[in-house]
């Protein structure tokens, strides 16, 4: 049995589907214990990672855990996992975990990785760059008109499809050979925000026009969308340029045997969200 936390999220839901498609018994954990959209046979459970006592029972009979990072109860959840006989944990981290900077994101990712290293469980860290699904934040603008205002217009990133993170996660959950590895994961192309808008325009058959936000507008937009410490972290990463996500890496293909999906493929699959 594999326990997948964050099971209704961008990555967790894909991990659940990938494992279920391979015939693995899966338990899908979220606070709601949502069952809608789960493949047949997957067991939905409710649990709050900030309250370890609500997760404990879900660890029964589990051999590997897909873990979301940064929750307050993490150390206790890991200790309970060890006590329950769990063998390994695959944690969703981020490329920014490697950046030497003291901001809200690097702090929680580094602390989460350290707790996992100290847990005594075999571990694998997945350190993806930005997700292609972040483009869903443009959906509101796109449904309203053809002008698409984007933050950090000059920053190239090799965004990854969450389903590719999930395919790597599945390999690491099912085989011991990935223990002690930290995988930096990227998509297949390094694109500007305007390149992604052009792909969306093609897929949607629309005449979309990218307008780059100025530095000040980017700051305002991030502060409106995220709690202040996270907005500041993103400004450090992409405004000050301390996080480079432009490089395309071969890791997804090396681990899974298949190249990662392009933004065009992601956009076609999610076209009706726009």
Ligand X SMILES: NC(=O)c1ccc[n+]([C@@H]2O[C@H](COP(=O)([O-])OP(=O)(O)OC[C@H]3O[C@@H](n4cnc5c(N)ncnc54)[C@H](OP(=O)(O)O)[C@@H]3O)[C@@H](O)[C@H]2O)c1
DSSP 12-40: HHHHHHHHHHTT--EEEEESS---TTPPT
Q: Least distance from C-beta 205 to ligand X, angstroms?
A: 27
Nearest to 186 by CA among 129, 237, 135: 129
Residue 42 CB partners (closer than 8 Å, separation 6+): 16, 20, 26, 27, 28
Query: Is the separation of the CB atoms in 58 and 5 below 8 Å?
Result: no
Q: Least distance from C-beta 125 to ligand X, angstroms?
A: 11
- Please say which residue, 100 or 144, places its beta carbon nearer to ligand X: 100
- Please say which residue, 93 or 210, places its beta carbon nearer to ligand X: 93
- Please say which residue, 7 or 255, places its beta carbon nearer to ligand X: 7
- Please say which residue, 129 or 174, places its beta carbon nearer to ligand X: 129
Q: Least distance from C-beta 153 to ligand X, angstroms?
A: 17
Interface residue list for ligand X (CB under 6 A): 5-12, 30-32, 34, 48-50, 68-71, 92, 94, 128, 130-131, 134
Helix (H) or strand (E) holding 220: helix 215-225
- Please say which residue, 31 or 258, places its beta carbon nearer to ligand X: 31
State the CB neighbour count (10 A cutoff) for residue 144: 9
């Amino acid at each position: 049995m594999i326990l997948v936390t964050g099971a209704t999220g961008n990555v967790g839901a894909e991990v659940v589907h990938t494992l279920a498609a391979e015939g693995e018994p899966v338990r899908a954990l979220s606070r709601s214990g949502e069952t809608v959209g789960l493949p047949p046979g997957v067991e939905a459970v409710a649990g709050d990672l900030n309250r370890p006592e609500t997760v404990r029972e879900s660890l029964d009979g589990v051999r590997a855990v897909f873990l979301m990072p940064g929750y307050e109860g993490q150390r206790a959840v890991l200790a309970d996992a060890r006590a329950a006989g769990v063998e390994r944990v695959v944690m969703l981290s981020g490329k920014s975990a490697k950046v030497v900077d003291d901001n809200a994101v690097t702090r929680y990712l580094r602390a989460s990785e350290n707790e996992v290293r100290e847990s005594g469980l075999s571990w694998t860290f997945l350190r993806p760059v930005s997700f292609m699904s972040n483009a869903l934040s443009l959906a509101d603008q796109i449904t309203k008109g053809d002008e698409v205002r984007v933050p950090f217009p000059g920053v190239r990133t090799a965004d990854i499809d969450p389903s590719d993170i999930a395919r790597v996660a599945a390999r690491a959950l099912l085989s011991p050979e990935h223990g002690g590895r930290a995988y930096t994961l990227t998509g297949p192309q390094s694109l500007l925000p305007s390149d992604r808008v052009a792909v969306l325009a093609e897929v949607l058959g629309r005449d979309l026009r990218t307008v780059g936000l100025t530095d000040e507008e980017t700051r305002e937009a991030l502060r409106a969308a995220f709690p202040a410490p996270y907005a500041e972290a993103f400004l450090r990463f992409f405004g000050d340029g301390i996080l480079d996500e432009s490089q395309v890496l071969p890791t997804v293909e090396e681990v899974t045997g298949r190249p990662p999906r392009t933004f065009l493929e992601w956009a076609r699959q999610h076209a009706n969200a726009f």
